C-alpha cells in the first residue's frame, strides 16, 4: 500500500499560471520534504517541514512555496511557473531528520509547462 | 557529507547476483551509507543503510569494508524489475549546522538486468 501519495501523477499548466501539487502520507512522520528532479538529473531538495517548522534551501527560487496544514498533507505551490520549472516533483517523509532515518518517497508529479 | 563514487553503468544477468560498488574514501565515523534506487518514472525507493556492520533485509545486503571507505550493495537474485539507477549516499548522523536532513544524490549507477 502506498504510504506517500502524490497527486496528480501528471500535471500540465500554462506559463505563468499558478499550480499546486499535493502530497499526503499515512506514516505519521514528522518531516516532509519536496525535491525537484529535472530530466536526466538527480533529485534536488527544495525545502522541508519538521512538523510546522518550514526550512527553505538557500538556492530555492522565491517562486516556490509550501504549506503543511496538518501532519498528513503538504503542498507545493509554484506561483508563476516558467519553462525551466518543468520537472518531476518528489515528496518524501521521514520520522525524524537524523542521518539514521530513511526518507520514503512518493512516485512524484511530473509537471509540464505549456 | 562525504562524496561517493559509483560506476555509471553495470549489467547483470537475470537470476545472478548483482554487486554494486561504491567508493566513499572520505567518510567520517558518524556517517551512514545509504542506498536508494529509482526505477524509470518512479520516486526513489529506499533499499538499505548501515554504519559499520554489514546489513541485510528482504531486498538486499550491504557490505561495508572494515575501513569504511567503500561498500557493496548486493541484490542476491536480480530480476528484470531490478533494472534501475542505484544511488549510494553518505549521510552524517547529526551536525550542528543542521544539514543532516539532506539526501544529496549523485549520478548513481544504471543497473541493467538482462534476460
Q: For residue A77, give the C-alpha cell.
A: 505551490
Distance CA B68, CA B52 (A): 7
Chain B residues in contact with A23 (beta carbon < 8 A): none
Q: Is B99 in CB contact (< 8 Å) with chain A?
A: no
Residue B7 distance to chain A (closest CA, Å): 15
Out of B42, B94, B106, the one facing A99 most closely (by C-beta) is B94
- The dihedral built from the CA positions of residue A40, A43, A46 and A51, taken in this order, carries a sign that is positive
The pLDDT score that the predictor gives to residue B1 is 60
Q: Name the interface residues of A facing B (CB cutoff 8 Å).
A: 4, 6, 31, 33, 42-45, 48, 50, 55, 90, 92, 94, 97-100, 102-108, 110
Average pLDDT value for chain A: 93
Distance CA B5, CA B109 (A): 9
Tens digit of each residue's pLDDT (9 = 90 or more) over A21-57: 999 999 999 999 999 999 989 999 999 999 999 999 8
Averaged pLDDT for residues B11-34 = 93
**Among B90, B97, B101, the residue to mutate for chain A (most A Cβ within 10 A):** B101
Position B2 confidence tier, pLDDT thresholds 50, 70, 90:
low
Position A1 confidence tier, pLDDT thresholds 50, 70, 90:
low
The pLDDT score that the predictor gives to residue B92 is 67
The pLDDT score that the predictor gives to residue A101 is 86
Position A12 confidence tier, pLDDT thresholds 50, 70, 90:
very high
Is A78's pLDDT higher than 80?
A: yes
Q: What's the Rg (C-alpha) of chain A?
A: 13
Distance CA A12, CA A110 (A): 8
Position B103 confidence tier, pLDDT thresholds 50, 70, 90:
confident
Cα dihedral: B46, A73, A28, A47 (round 10): 50
Averaged pLDDT for residues B25-49 = 92
Q: Which of residues 55-94 of B touch A (CB under 8 A)?
A: 87, 91-94
Amino acid at each position: 500500500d502506498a504510504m506517500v501519495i502524490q497527486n496528480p501523477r501528471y500535471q500540465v499548466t500554462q506559463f505563468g499560471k499558478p499550480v499546486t501539487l499535493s502530497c499526503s502520507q499515512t506514516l505519521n512522520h514528522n518531516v516532509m520534504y519536496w525535491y525537484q528532479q529535472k530530466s536526466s538529473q538527480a533529485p534536488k531538495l527544495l525545502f522541508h517541514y519538521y512538523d510546522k517548522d518550514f526550512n527553505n534551501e538557500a538556492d530555492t527560487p522565491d517562486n516556490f512555496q509550501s504549506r503543511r496544514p496538518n501532519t498528513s498533507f503538504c503542498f507545493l505551490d509554484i506561483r508563476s511557473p516558467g519553462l525551466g520549472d518543468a520537472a518531476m516533483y518528489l515528496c518524501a517523509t521521514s520520522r525524524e531528520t537524523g542521518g539514521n532515518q530513511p526518507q520514503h518517497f512518493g512516485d512524484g508529479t511530473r509537471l509540464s509547462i505549456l | 557529507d562525504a562524496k561517493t563514487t559509483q560506476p555509471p553503468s553495470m549489467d547483470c544477468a537475470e537470476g545472478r547476483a548483482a554487486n554494486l560498488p561504491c567508493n566513499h574514501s572520505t567518510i567520517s565515523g558518524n556517517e551512514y551509507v545509504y542506498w536508494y534506487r529509482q526505477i524509470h518514472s518512479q520516486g526513489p525507493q529506499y533499499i538499505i543503510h548501515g554504519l559499520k556492520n554489514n546489513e541485510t533485509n528482504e531486498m538486499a545486503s550491504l557490505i561495508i569494508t572494515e575501513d569504511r571507505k567503500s561498500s557493496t550493495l548486493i541484490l542476491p537474485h536480480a530480476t528484470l524489475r531490478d533494472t534501475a539507477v542505484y544511488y549510494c549516499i553518505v549521510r552524517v548522523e547529526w551536525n550542528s549546522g543542521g544539514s543532516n536532513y539532506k539526501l544529496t544524490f549523485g549520478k548513481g549507477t544504471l543497473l541493467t538486468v538482462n534476460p
